[in-house]
Structure 1
Amino acid sequence: MNAIHGEFVRLFATRLPLWTLLGAVCTGSITGLLALIGPENSTTPMPGIDTAEGAGLVVGLGALMLFVPALIGTVAITSEYRHRTIGATFLAVPRRGRVLGAKLAVYTMLGLLYGVVASVRRA
C-alpha cells in the first residue's frame, strides 16, 4: 500500500496527468469539431458524414489518441531512471514486483481517467 501511495505522490508531483488530460480534450475536440462542421466543408472536400467513408474518417481521428497510453506507460518506467530516483525507490521497496505492481495500479487509474475524458469529449 505504501508503494501505491508513493507512486501517486510521484505521479502528481509531475505535469504528466495535466498534459495527458489536455491531450485527450484537444484530440477529442478536434474530432468533435470535424463532425460538427462536416468533412464535406473542408478545403479539399472529403466524403460527407452521412457516407461510410466520411463516418470512418471522423471516427478514425480517434486513432490520434492511441499514442498517449503508450507514452504514459513509457514515462511510468523511464522517468525514474531519468531523474535518478530509482535507487531510492528500490531502497524503500526492495521487491521489483511490488514496485512494478504499484506503477501498474497507479498508471492504470490514470489511463482509465484518460479514457473517460476522451470518451466524454467525443460523445
Structure 2
Amino acid sequence: MLAHAIAAERIKLLTTRSAYWCSGIVVLLGLGLAILLAWATTSDSGSSSNTSESDFLVGTTAFGVTVLMIMAVLAVTSEFRFGTIRTSFQAIPQRSNVMFAKAAVYGGLSALLTFVLTVISLPLAKSISGNDLALLGSDALRLYWGVPLYTFLSVLIGLGLGALIRQTAGAIVILLVWSLVLEGVLSVIPKVGDAVGPFLPFLNGSHFIDGGDLGIDWHWNGYGSLIYYLVFAVVMFGAGVLVTDRRDT
C-alpha cells in the first residue's frame, strides 16, 4: 500500500507546476549565489581568507531549503484546499501512508537536488574564486552528506506544519516568520538569547551546516545540533501524521 501511495505522490509531483517552479528557483539561487560569492572573493581580492566551504552554499542551504520547505507545505495544504485529499484517503485508507509517501517523494527529490547543487557549487566556486577550498576535506565531506540530510529534515518540518495548519497562507507565514525572523530576533535579545538560543531548531540546523557558533553559547557541537534538529523534525512530522489520522477532512 505504501508503494502505491509513493507512486501516486510521484505522479502528483510530476504533474504539478509549482514543483518545477520551486526546483528551478532553488537551482538559480544555489548556483547563482555560489558564482556571485566566488566572483566577489577571488584570490586576488584579498577577501578570500574568511570564506569557508559552507559560505558558497548559502544559496542552497539558506534560501533554497526555505523554498523547498514551502513546496512541502504546498504539497499538503493544496490538497486540502482543492479537496483532492479526500480522493487520496479513499484510495489509501491508512492516512499515515499518504504522509509517509509525501515525505519519501518530496524529501527524496529535495535531498537529491541539494546534493547535486552541493557537488556542483563547491568545485565551481573553487575554479572561479581561486580560493584554496579543500573539496575532499572534512568540512566539504560533511557538507556533501549533511546538506541533503538537513534538506530532508527541513522538508519533514514543512510537511508536518502543512498538515497541522492546513491553510496555505497561514502555514507559509508561520514558516517564514519562524525560520527567518523570530529565531534570529530571540537569539540576540540579552539574557533571552543566552537561555533559548541553543534550543531554537532552525538555528541548530544552521549551526550544523555553518560550523560556526553563530554568536550563541552552544551546549553541544555541530553534530549535537544535527541530532536536535532531527528530533525536532521527526516530532513535527509525527504531529502532522497524528493530526491527519484523527482529524476529519
Per-residue CA deviations over 1:64-107 (Å, capped at 9, x if unaligned) read 22312311221121121122101111111111111111111111
Q: Which residue of 1 aligns with 2:48?
A: 50
Q: Which residue of 1 aligns with 2:58?
A: 61
Flag the 1:38–1:82 CA change in 2: closer, same or farther, 3 A. same
Determine the C-alpha separation between the residues in 1 that align with 2:18 and 2:48.
38
Determine the C-alpha separation between the residues in 1 that align with 2:101 and 2:10.
9
- Unaligned 5+ segments in structure 1 are 41-46
Determine the C-alpha separation between the residues in 1 that align with 2:46 and 2:76.
43
Determine the C-alpha separation between the residues in 2 that align with 1:39 and 1:73.
34
Q: Which residue of 2 aligns with 1:31?
A: 33
Q: Which residue of 2 aligns with 1:44?
A: none
Determine the C-alpha separation between the residues in 2 that align with 1:49 and 1:60.
17
Determine the C-alpha separation between the residues in 2 that align with 1:6 and 1:78.
17
**Contact kept in structure 1, 2:33 and 2:56, CA below 8 Å:** yes
Deviation at 1:111, TM superposition (A): 1.2
Q: Which has the higher contact order (CA 8 A, sep 6+)?
A: 1
Flag the 1:79–1:121 CA change in 2: closer, same or farther, 3 A. farther
Determine the C-alpha separation between the residues in 2 that align with 1:94 and 1:114.
31
Q: Which residue of 2 aligns with 1:19?
A: 21
Structure 2 counterparts to residues 1-123 of structure 1, below 5 A: 1-38=3-40, 48-52=46-50, 55=51, 58-59=55-56, 61-62=58-59, 63-123=62-122
Determine the C-alpha separation between the residues in 2 that align with 1:15 and 1:29.
21
User: Secondary structure of the equivalent of 2:107?
Assistant: helix
TM-score (normalizing by structure 1):
0.76
Aligned residues: percent identity? 30
Root-mean-square deviation over aligned CA pairs: 2.4
Flag the 1:68–1:117 CA change in 2: closer, same or farther, 3 A. farther
Flag the 1:104–1:60 CA change in 2: closer, same or farther, 3 A. closer
**Contact kept in structure 1, 2:30 and 2:57, CA below 8 Å:** no
In the alignment, residue 19 of structure 1 is paired with which amino acid? W
In the alignment, residue 38 of structure 1 is paired with which amino acid? A
- Unaligned 5+ segments in structure 2 are 123-249
- How many residues end up aligned between the 2 structures? 115
User: Secondary structure of the equivalent of 2:16?
Assistant: coil
Deviation at 1:9, TM superposition (A): 0.8
Deviation at 1:29, TM superposition (A): 2.5
TM-score (normalizing by structure 2):
0.41
